[in-house]
Amino acid sequence: MLSIISKKIIKPLSPTPYTQRWHNLSLIDQIFSNIYVPFVFFYPKHQVATIPKHQLSKILTNSLSKTLISYYPWAGSLKNNATIECDDHGVEFFEVEISSSMNKVIHNPDLTFPQGLCWGHSSLSTSGALTVAHLSHFECGGIAFSICLSHKVGDACNAYYFLRDWARLTRDPKLILSPQYFVKDSLMPSPFDGSMVYPVIEPRREGCIHKRFVFSELKINALKALVAAESSVQNPTRAEVVSALLYKCAASSSTTNLWLKSIADVKVYVVLT
């Protein structure tokens, strides 16, 4: 049902500077096991008919190579649970054919993902790539584009910006992206020497506690002003100040070991209004 047309390793268009070689993971990123954040997009035939099939892969890989200049950690290598080496290891890019119509697959999209990676735990792809993409061609003429991005590098919000800028460069190859700022472990450094052994937390539903905290715009602005006045961090984002506050409160509420044990059984939802 599925046959591979090609497999490529896409590297950043220009080498990552040595000053950006090491990407130190925060405590939260170390806690997460090696899972991928999966996305899939379906496009019917009439949306892609103007692009020749043999050119589509080239267009996407060229723009991906340019995007990785700014999002270089996703092209790196996980050296241990605390460090990504931004060595331009590259992104795996598969082009496949699926002998089925898109309508038969759209409600069961697992076929469009690399086997074993979608929501997989404790393992990377066979080549160790932190990002794996699939371009699938259906017999009806439509396509599916899926991508799995390592949660070690970023969350869904980071992945959104990555995909947004990749799409922008695909539409306009001459576009120049603004440099990205990676906070690494500056906000939530690990209290341990070396890296934590993973996986520490595996997602589970049994015995979970759900809590919801609402932060008003007035309180967030006051918190941002306090951070700017009492630290060297200028103009912090709303997400940064709220995340730092939650981390500080959780870390000070009990010993680190007890907090790390209990956080596995608690899910916190934060609403920024």
Helices in 71-173 by DSSP H: which ranges?
102-105, 156-171
What is the reported pLDDT for 126?
Answer: 60
197 closest CA partner among 63, 80, 112, 75: 80
pLDDT number for residue 188: 74
Q: Is 25 helix (H, G, I), strand (E, B) or coil?
A: coil
pLDDT at 137: 93
Q: Which helix (H) or strand (E) holds 268?
A: strand 266-272
* Tokens (6 digits) for 28: 């939260």
Instruction: Provide the pLDDT for residue 62.
Output: 96
User: Which residues have a Cβ under 8 Å from the Cβ of 167 and sit 6 or more positions away?
Assistant: none
Query: Do residues 108 and 40 touch, judged by C-beta distance below 8 A?
Result: no
Which residues in the chain are classed under CATH 3.30.559.10? 2-171
pLDDT at 66: 96
Distances (CA, A) of 227 to 8, 233, 245, 264: 45, 7, 10, 29
* Euclidean distance between CA atoms 127 and 132, whole angstroms: 10
> One-letter amino acid identity for 25?
L
pLDDT at 266: 44
Say if CB 66 and CB 161 are below 8 A apart. Answer: no
Question: What's 2-171's CATH class?
Answer: alpha beta
Three-state DSSP class for residue 203: coil
Q: Say how far apart CA 165 and CA 155 lie, in whole Å.
A: 16
Q: Whose CA is closest to 27, among 238, 233, 141, 196? A: 196
By the 8 A CB rule, do 6 and 57 touch?
A: yes
Extract the residue ranges of the chain whose pLDDT is less than 50.
Answer: 122, 255-273
User: pLDDT tens digits for 187-233?
Assistant: 777 766 666 665 555 555 566 665 667 788 888 888 888 888 888 77
User: In angstroms, rounded to a whole number, what is the distance separating the alpha carbons of residues 133 and 227?
Assistant: 39
The two tokens of residue 29 are 């990123």
